[in-house]
Amino acid sequence: MKTNEDKDFNYWIEKGKEMVAERRQRIARAKKWKFDTVATHGLYDLNQALTWNNGSIMEPAYLTPAQAYLNSAEMEVALSYQMPNWCYSRIANPSSFFLEEASALLETYGSDIQGTCLATASGISAIRTATDPFLVKDGNFPKPNIVSSAKVYGGTFQQFRVRRHIEQGIEVRWVKEPENLGEWASMIDENTRFVYGEFPSNPSVAIFDISEVAKLAHENGIPLIVDSTCASPVLTRPLTLGADIVVHSASKVISGSGTSIIGFVISKMNITSKIGTDEMKEDFAAWAKFWPFRDNGPALHSMAAILTLNDMRTLRMRMEQMSNSTLALARYLEKHPKIDRVHYPGLESYPAYNLAKKYMKLVDSGENMFGFMLAVEIKEDTPGASTNTRKFYDALQLAWRAADLGRVKTVATLNAISTHQQQGEEGRALAAVKPNTCRIACGVEHVDDIIDDIEQALRKV
C-alpha cells in the first residue's frame, strides 16, 4: 500500500493514464447504446457514483469553485494537464463534464467519430469560442474573411457584422441563398478562415447541403462550422456529414423546460484548418477549453449544466412530438386563406424539400421529421405592412409572445421587431425576415390545442 508521501509525480502520471483508459472503456460501451440510453446515462455509471459521488444515482451539481489536491505532486501533474482533473470552475467542473460527455456522444451518435464537447455560458459565447481561434493574426493570410450563410440567428449576424467586421475589420461574406452551392464556392478564397451555416436557420428555416459545403471547405483547407440548434442531434448530426465543428444554443430545445442559458462547441478529431497549431486541430474543443476558453472566461454555472443534462435525457421524445405537431400546424396554415406563405422543411412546397428529407430524420427510427419551428407570413393588404400580423399575434392566448424557441410551451415571435430588430432593414432582407413574418415554435402541448389557439387568433384578423 502506498502512503500519501509515496504518491509522487510518477504515481500521478500513471494514475492519469488509468483514468484515461477507464474513460475510454466507458465511451466504447456508450457507443453501443441507442440514443435514448446515451442521453439518459452518458458516461456516468455505478462505478463513478460509488468512487466519486457517495453513490448518487443522478449526476450531482458541484457548486464549488475549486478542486483540492492531495499533495504538491498531484497538483503539479494536474495543472500541467497531464491527468484528468477539473481544477477551477472557470476552466472545468465535474457537472459540466457529465453534460459535455453526454452531448459529445449524442452529436456523434451512429458513427465511429469521436467527439469532444465544451459547454459555455451561452450559445452566442459558443459561437465566439468556436470561431475566435480561426481569426488570429497570421502573416500568410493577412486579410481574413468569413464566408457565412446570411440566414442566421440575429445575434450571430450582429456578432459577425458588428464585433467582427465593424470593430475588428474582418470581412464577412454573406451567402444569400445557402441552398445554392455555387454561391458558397464563389465566395471562398485563400484568405477565408472558415465557412459557417445554420441548419435549419432561425427563423427562416433555410437549410444547405452540409456534406457538399463541407467538401468545398475542405478543398480550400478550412473548416465548416454548423449551428445546429434547431435540428438538434435528434434530427441531424452535422459532424457525421462532414462538418468539423457544431455549435448549439443549448438554451433552446436541449434545455427545453427553460431553466438555463447555455451553449455547446462540439468538434471531431483532426479538423481541417490552415490556421492554428497541430494541437488545436487534433482535438479542437478540448484545446479551446484548456487555453482560450480559460483565458476569456465564458464559463457556465454548474447548476445550468445539471439542469440541461436532466432535460437532454428526454430530447428525442420531445423532438418527436414537437415535430409531429409542427408538421400538422404547417399543413393547417398552408391551406388557411389569411396566410400568404408557410416556411417549413416538412412541406412539399418547401424549396429544398428533398434536401430536408435527406438530412432530417428522427434518430433510431429513420422517419423524416422536420423540427419544432416554422415561419409563417400573414396576408397583408399592402406590401411591407404588419397590421394583420400584429392583430393575429396580439390575439394569441395559449402561445406565448416571446423571443424564444424550442420550449416545451409554444412560443410565437415577430422577428422583425425582436430577434432581428437591430440588424436593420438590409440585414433583415438578407435573413429573409419580413414585417409579416411570425415564427412559431411548437411545444409539447396537445396539437389540437395549439391549432385551436392559432385558429382563434387568425379569426381576429
Ligand X SMILES: *Cc1c(COP(=O)(O)O)cnc(C)c1O
Q: How many CB atoms lie within 10 A of CB 50?
A: 11
Considering the complex, state which of residue 250 and residue 280 has its C-beta at the smaller distance from ligand X: 250
CB 200 → ligand X: shortest distance, Å? 9
Q: Is 197 left (phi over 0), alpha (psi -120 to 50) or beta?
A: beta
Q: Are 36 and 364 in contact (CB under 8 A)?
A: yes
Considering the complex, state which of residue 249 and residue 267 has its C-beta at the smaller distance from ligand X: 249
Q: For ligand X, which residue of 59, 227, 244, 453 counts as binding (CB under 6 A)?
A: 227
Residue 289 has phi, psi (to 5 degrees) of -65, -45
CB 380 → ligand X: shortest distance, Å? 26
Residue 232 makes contact with ligand X by CB under 6 A = no
Residue 351 has phi, psi (to 5 degrees) of -60, -35
String of DSSP letters for 6-27 = G--HHHHHHHHHHHHHHHHHHH
CB 123 → ligand X: shortest distance, Å? 2
CB 203 → ligand X: shortest distance, Å? 9
| Residue 229 to residue 200: CA distance in whole angstroms | 8
Considering the complex, state which of residue 227 and residue 453 has its C-beta at the smaller distance from ligand X: 227
Strand order in the sheet with 192-198: 115-120, 263-268, 245-249, 224-227, 192-198, 145-149, 171-175
CB 300 → ligand X: shortest distance, Å? 10
| Residue 109 to residue 456: CA distance in whole angstroms | 41
Considering only residues 148 through 207, tell me which ones interact with ligand X, judged by CB under 6 A.
153, 155-156, 198, 202
Considering only residues 384 through 413, tell me which ones interact with ligand X, judged by CB under 6 A.
none
Considering only residues 250 through 269, tell me which ones interact with ligand X, judged by CB under 6 A.
251-252, 261, 263
**Total residues binding ligand X (CB under 6 A):** 16
Q: Which is it for the CA torsion 212, 217, 220, 221, positive or negative?
A: negative
Q: Choose the binding region for ligand X from 7-15, 223-231, 308-316, 338-346 (rule: CB under 6 A).
A: 223-231
Which positions from 97 to 136 touch ligand X by CB under 6 A, shown as an x/- string? -------------------------xxx------------
CB 34 → ligand X: shortest distance, Å? 27
CB 227 → ligand X: shortest distance, Å? 5
Considering the complex, state which of residue 155 and residue 427 has its C-beta at the smaller distance from ligand X: 155
String of DSSP letters for 158-179 = HIIIIIIIIHH--EEEEES-TT
Considering the complex, state which of residue 198 and residue 320 has its C-beta at the smaller distance from ligand X: 198
Least Cα distance to 214 among 183, 243, 248, 171 occurs for 243
Considering the complex, state which of residue 149 and residue 229 has its C-beta at the smaller distance from ligand X: 229
Looking at beta carbons, which residue is closest to ligand X?
Answer: 123
Amino acid residing at 460: K
Nine-digit cell string for 359: 438530412
Which positions from 296 to 335 touch ligand X by CB under 6 A, shown as an x/- string? ----------------------------------------
Q: Give Cα 393 to chain centroid, integer Å.
A: 28
Q: Choose the binding region for ligand X from 248-256, 305-313, 346-354, 436-444 (rule: CB under 6 A).
A: 248-256
Nine-digit cell string for 54: 457517495
Chain contacts with ligand X (rule: CB under 6 A): 122-124, 153, 155-156, 198, 202, 227, 229-230, 249, 251-252, 261, 263
